[in-house]
A and B are shown apart, each in its own frame.
Chain A
Amino acid sequence: MKGLKFHKKQDVAIVGAGMTTFKRRLLETGKELSYFAVKQALEEAGLDISDIEMVVMGSAPDAFDGVALKGEYLLDGSGGSDRPYMRVFVGGGTGVFAPIAGYWHVASGLADVCLVVCEEKMSSCYPHPQSAFKYIWDPILERPLKPNLIWIFALEMRRYMHVNNVKHEDIALVSVKNKANALDHPCAQVAEKITVEDVLKSEPMALPVRRLDVSPPSDGAAALVMVAPHIARQLTDEPVWVTGVGWCLDTTHWTNRDLYFPRYVAEAARMAYRMAHITDPRKQIDVAEPYDPFDYKELHHMEGLGLARKGEAPILTREGVTARDGDLPVCPSGGLLGVGNPIAATMGVKACEIYWQLAYRAGKRQVAKEVTTGVCQAWGDLMQVGTVMVMSNKR
């Protein structure tokens, strides 16, 4: 990263976003879901599909929808017919990686208007999408042991708790916060008022992970419209600018790493912050949406993003700093724990949410304080990838 000058051809603004509801099973096909999300995003932006020059689709493993070359299958629903279209995929990190790929399209000058769509249809994998995760494991070293993917998270959670001396009660507070936040989100799947007790008594899956620590599999889609400055000017007085992007992958040999700290998120954040001229994230970031498929992950990622020192994230949560009316609201949308986890379509509660917060259009979810800069982050593959995007409503 030494010589990176970040000299782009043009700035990139977001002028519209949309998402479908997130539910365990939806009737609509993947194509239809993409269409709904795109329709909303175009409507908010004030554009027509003929204005879109290029399309980026983000969608996680083909195994869920059950269609190989899934990108091709989804292309007509997502507006990709008869234009340059590509699909990107970095596992769970796709939710923020797809907008980053959209960023390349516009910042490089190749396009002035780029549509970013993410879709996921996990319910097609019947009876339970967990079965598709059997194939993420190394076929020689790991699959013969018949692992369930929850094992990795449990191993990571245990390590995090051990090194930072954190109790499960403090981690459960995240689940309580996010599920409550999600009550204000129209698309939420598992919003509810629960207590720390409920979490600690819920069904054990792979200890220390219990059922209420986990986000559910979902179907859903989300979309964003990214444009060049001269187009943004014509469309709105209040575009939201993408000021920094970063992504980083760590090794597939996850057993060779100390799991208590996500250094791949820290690296990705370093790149994004440098681009966005952020030197003190804790003070300069007003609102954050880190990836929270598990409650401990929100804490893990907060530390990776530099929003808290190592081991400090549970303390901030306990003190209410990360609540919607706190000093650093984290996951005001309700995140994956409250709204749902359709892998790539989580863009709707990460990138789209930060956009809506910075545009002051988040309705009941709007955070109490004034916001200028926000960060969204996603994570995925085999505990490998961190993708980070920083946005601001001031250029």
Chain B
Amino acid sequence: MQIESGLADIVVVEAHSKASDIKTFGEILRHAMDPIWLKGVTRAHPYYFAALEMSYYVKKYCVNDEAIAEVVVKNRKNAILNDSAPYGAKLTVEDVLNSPFVFYPMRKIEIAERADGAVVFVVASDEIARKITDSPIWIKGLGWWSETSNYDTMSFEALYAYKAGKMAYKMAGIEVPANEIDIAEVDDRFAFKELQHLVALQLANKYTVGDLMLEGHFSRNGSLPVNVSGGSLGVGNLLEATGGQKALEIVLQLRGDAGKRQVDCELGLAQSWRYIPTASGAVVVFGV
């Protein structure tokens, strides 16, 4: 916006996470709850918010456990090829299904562990970009949306991702996202969220997304690679820098700089969510 308002030609954007400095993460999340309605209900760790949503989502769309387990398996396997990712691991669906529940129906292994990191982007107007480099990556479209702050009236279907996606696609001139997007990085800080976001972003049908996941449709060699970087499950929950990490991966992929993880692509999408207890999110579509 600053570039488009003519206020600047080059803008640097920075995001970082120093999660390791926080010793009482649950308390901080709890601190974001509505103090009058929600906070006093219980002192339990607020991850139950995500578990409540998962419970609803899984029941409504008949998503089976294996599909969610496959998200964990896929992303942590992808992370092995990512030098920046601390949580790469070779897991099987059985490993995940046998692991303990922490907030039923959510298993501990489905929750992304925290990590520290920083991401910086240099964004420039088209005139300057063409002077500086032969291969700029263009922001084709962007969108952001908030549903509501009230937990009881949220859609539980990632409506914020749907609307933000619609805004970004309109700007980018994309009509059928599932056909046109080559690669995507979506917020998977809770494993079921990856499925939910893919549906909301119109990249999969809501009843078949689980089957597609199990068939390998979203794996690195599949038709629509998702979270090739390892996603947040593999790279770690970077708190507010999560969106930055997702955008970074898409930019690297489009530039051909993704090393061993490289996927052939021309149009990529990065999406992130504002985490519990919010219903806000943003989407950016990048292209060459």
Within the assembled complex, what's the spacing in Å between the Cα atoms of A85 and B5?
Answer: 18
- List, in ascending order, chain B residues with CB within 8 A of A103's CB: 5
Q: A67-B35, A69-B274 are in contact. Are A83 and B146 (CB under 8 A)?
A: yes
Q: Tally the A-B contacts, defined by beta carbons under 8 Å.
A: 96
Kindly state whether residue B280 has any CB partner on chain A within 8 Å: yes
In the complex, the chain A residue whose C-beta lies closest to that of B8 is A4
Kindly state whether residue B262 has any CB partner on chain A within 8 Å: no
Q: A74-B149, A105-B1 are in contact. Are A68 and B6 (CB under 8 A)?
A: no
* Chain A 1-34 interface 0/1 with B at a Cβ cutoff of 8 Å (1 = within): 0011111110000000000000000000101000
In the complex, the chain B residue whose C-beta lies closest to that of A7 is B6
* Chain B 100-129 interface 0/1 with A at a Cβ cutoff of 8 Å (1 = within): 000000000000000000000000000000
Within the assembled complex, what's the spacing in Å between the Cα atoms of A103 and B2?
Answer: 9
The one of A62, A73, A109, A245 in contact with B149, judged by C-beta atoms closer than 8 angstroms, is A73
A113 to chain B, nearest CB (A): 15
| Contact in complex: B1, A5 (CB < 8 Å) | no
| Contact in complex: A73, B32 (CB < 8 Å) | yes
Report B146-205 residues with CB < 8 Å from chain A CB.
Answer: 146-150, 163-164, 167
For the residues of A in contact with B, the DSSP-based class is loop
Question: Interface residue count for B (Cβ, 8 Å)?
Answer: 32
Within the assembled complex, what's the spacing in Å between the Cα atoms of A161 and B35?
Answer: 44
| Contact in complex: B146, A80 (CB < 8 Å) | yes
| Contact in complex: A72, B144 (CB < 8 Å) | no
Kindly state whether residue B134 has any CB partner on chain A within 8 Å: no
| Contact in complex: B6, A5 (CB < 8 Å) | yes
| Contact in complex: B148, A81 (CB < 8 Å) | yes
Within the assembled complex, what's the spacing in Å between the Cα atoms of A29 and B36?
Answer: 10
- List, in ascending order, chain B residues with CB within 8 A of A85's CB: 144-146, 280
Kindly state whether residue A84 has any CB partner on chain B within 8 Å: yes
- List, in ascending order, chain A residues with CB within 8 A of B144's CB: 84-86
Q: A69-B278, A72-B32, A72-B274 are in contact. Are A104 and B2 (CB under 8 A)?
A: yes
Within the assembled complex, what's the spacing in Å between the Cα atoms of A29 and B6?
Answer: 38
Q: A66-B35, A68-B32, A69-B278 are in contact. Are A108 and B147 (CB under 8 A)?
A: no
| Contact in complex: A68, B34 (CB < 8 Å) | no
The one of B35, B36, B164, B280 in contact with A72, judged by C-beta atoms closer than 8 angstroms, is B280
List the interface of chain A (C-beta within 8 A of B).
3-9, 29, 31, 62, 66-69, 72-76, 80-86, 103-105, 107-110, 245
List the interface of chain B (C-beta within 8 A of A).
1-9, 28-29, 31-36, 143-150, 163-164, 167, 274, 277-278, 280
List 9 A-B pairs, Cβ < 8 Å: A4-B6, A9-B5, A68-B29, A73-B32, A81-B149, A84-B144, A84-B145, A86-B144, A107-B5
